[in-house]
Amino acid sequence: EAQVTQNPRYLITVTGKKLTVTCSQNMNHEYMSWYRQDPGLGLRQIYYSMNVEVTDKGDVPEGYKVSRKEKRNFPLILESPSPNQTSLYFCASSYGRVVTYNEQFFGPGTRLTVL
Amino acid sequence: QQPVQSPQAVILREGEDAVINCSSSKALYSVHWYRQKHGEAPVFLMILLKGGEQKGHEKISASFNEKKQQSSLYLTASQLSYSGTYFCGTVDIRDNYGQNFVFGPGTRLSVLP
């Protein structure tokens, strides 16, 4: 089944404790992206990747890191989480490098709480 | 810059119609529409491209006015299953290269029996 998977689905952590949220897709998509969703603010892009080893900042990259060493995986790293990073996170992927013309497939989401 | 959506929320009875609007201050190469049900991930509805091409959901219609940088989503004869939050989105092409995707704030649609 074609899908985007994220792990973990739920995470409660404490300020400053490094964490990684994994994202994997099995559709051979080149474009991958991370979004955070907060009430009243909609979906905001954190980082995106147009291909292996090619990543770029979205609208809210501060406090996050990403890497794209393999085509199928795009982990999101919070080196020193803070309470303002409490949010619902979605990973998405899209065919081709140019998302302008292609739909995005979303993972199920990861609900992160930072205490 | 985030697209603007209107209305923020709308309540319908089954069978009624609704229009959701999306506009941008920047030139648009395409407009994407997604629907998100409570507690779920966004799901693709359609893409409208410059030149009139459309890709997506057969039962949903939309328009794209490139000159006005606006798009509208038309939901006709609404069903209970249409309830959810609708997002438009577009690509903010920076320096003629980037693919930063920006969503609008969303329109919450509630369809009542």
pLDDT along chain B (113 residues), means of 10: 93 96 90 95 93 77 91 93 96 77 96 95
pLDDT value for A65: 98
Q: Is A100 helix (H, G, I), strand (E, B) or coil?
A: helix
Chain segment A7-28, per-residue pLDDT in tens: 999 999 999 999 999 999 999 9
pLDDT band at A45 (very low <50, low <70, confident <90, very high): very high
Q: Where are the alpha helices (DSSP H) in A1-115?
A: none
Q: Is the dihedral of CA A61, A17, A53, A110 positive or negative?
A: negative
Tell me, what's the pLDDT at B58? Answer: 67
The answer to whether B32 contacts chain A (CB < 8 Å) is yes
Residues facing B36 on adjacent strands:
B85
Lookup: tokens for B108: 């919450």
Query: Does B2 reach chain A within 8 Å, measured CB to CB?
Result: yes
Nearest Cα neighbor of A72 from A100, A52, A90, A101 is: A52
Contact A86, A112 (CB under 8 A): yes
Q: Within an 8 Å CB–CB cutoff, is residue B29 touching chain A?
A: yes
Residues in chain B closer than 8 A to A108 (CB atoms): 40-41
Residue B108 CB-half CA count within 13 A:
7
Q: Which among A42, A97, A103 has CB closest to B104?
A: A42
Upper half-sphere CA count for residue A20 (Cβ side, 13 Å): 8
Asked if the C-beta of A43 comes within 8 angstroms of chain B's C-beta atoms, the answer is yes
Chain A CB contacts of B44 below 8 Å: 103-105
